Structure 1
Amino acid sequence: MSRRLILIVDDQSELRKLIRMTLEPLDCDLHEAASGLEALAKVRTLRPAVVILDVMLPGGIDGYQVCQAIKSDPKTQQTRVIMVTARGQKTDIEEGQRVKADCYLVKPFSPMQLIREVDNY
């Protein structure tokens, strides 16, 4: 059985490292992207099982747009998208639901909750 591939998308390298360290015990293949455009390119080539996605990203395309693109493409719509963001207002969470994010975690998030969300997929 092949290992699950997970893409971590955040413009802050320290947060990508924290998420990587959190998920390493799950024995997954972990990849990273620092922008929305890089994330979309990697989703199309790597076909990850899970994308852990920040909302606020550089490069003109935000996490909501990345999520919407993933979920609207028949080739990637089964990818589980976990939004991990500092944007925790009701309207932010509703936008996450609108673009069909599978889960919406507000920073600071619980590492155990993130592990559960990834492991349950």
Structure 2
Amino acid sequence: MNSHKILLADDESALRFLLTETLGEEGYSITEAEDGQQAIDKLEKELFDIVILDYMMPEKTGVEVCQWLRESDSPNSRLPVILLTAKASDKDRDRAQAAGVTTYIVKPFSPLQLIDTVESLLKDA
């Protein structure tokens, strides 16, 4: 059983629920955020092992949250960041990479794909 802490920020409650259940079953401890600003608030207060951000969220996008994180002096600033996105254009990929996103998963995706990505990033961390 692992006890890695994951911050999951997505404004779609159904997807958040599904991912929390799926990752929870793998033994991960999940903290949820409903928008980009909530994600920032949590990143300022708690330590995590990995961050999963939705691209399109109210308040701040996943890319804006990642950019803030990379520029902050938070102990979380070097964490692996997974961006969940329905936007897969080159421009969006470039923007995500410039903001410091580690990797991204294009929606729709399978929860198993997310688990594999999380596990490989944590192994490399």
Instruction: Output the TM-score relative to the length of structure 2.
Output: 0.88
Match of 1:68 in 2: 67
Superposed, 1:4-43 pairs within 5 Å as 4-43=4-43
Please give the alpha-carbon distance, in whole angstroms, between the structure 2 residues aligned to 1:96 and 1:110: 21
Contact 1:6 1:48 in 2 (8 A): yes
Shift of 1:27: 0.7
Shift of 1:25: 2.6
- 1:62 maps to a residue whose letter is T
Contact 1:53 1:83 in 2 (8 A): yes
SS where residue 32 of structure 1 aligns?
Answer: strand
Match of 1:95 in 2: 95
RMSD (CA atoms) = 1.4
What stretches of structure 1 of length at least 5 have no aligned partner?
Answer: none
What stretches of structure 2 of length at least 5 have no aligned partner?
Answer: none
- 1:33 maps to a residue whose letter is A
Shift of 1:4: 1.0
Contact 1:26 1:119 in 2 (8 A): no
- 1:12 maps to a residue whose letter is E
- 1:45 maps to a residue whose letter is K
User: How high is the sequence identity, in percent, across the aligned residues?
Assistant: 35
Farther-moved stretch of structure 1 (103-112 vs 9-18): 103-112
- 2:4 maps to a residue whose letter is R
Farther-moved stretch of structure 1 (47-56 vs 68-77): 68-77
Please give the alpha-carbon distance, in whole angstroms, between the structure 2 residues aligned to 1:16 and 1:78: 23
- 2:62 maps to a residue whose letter is G
Instruction: Output the TM-score relative to the length of structure 1.
Output: 0.91
Please give the alpha-carbon distance, in whole angstroms, between the structure 2 residues aligned to 1:10 and 1:44: 18
Please give the alpha-carbon distance, in whole angstroms, between the structure 2 residues aligned to 1:23 and 1:113: 11
Match of 1:114 in 2: 114
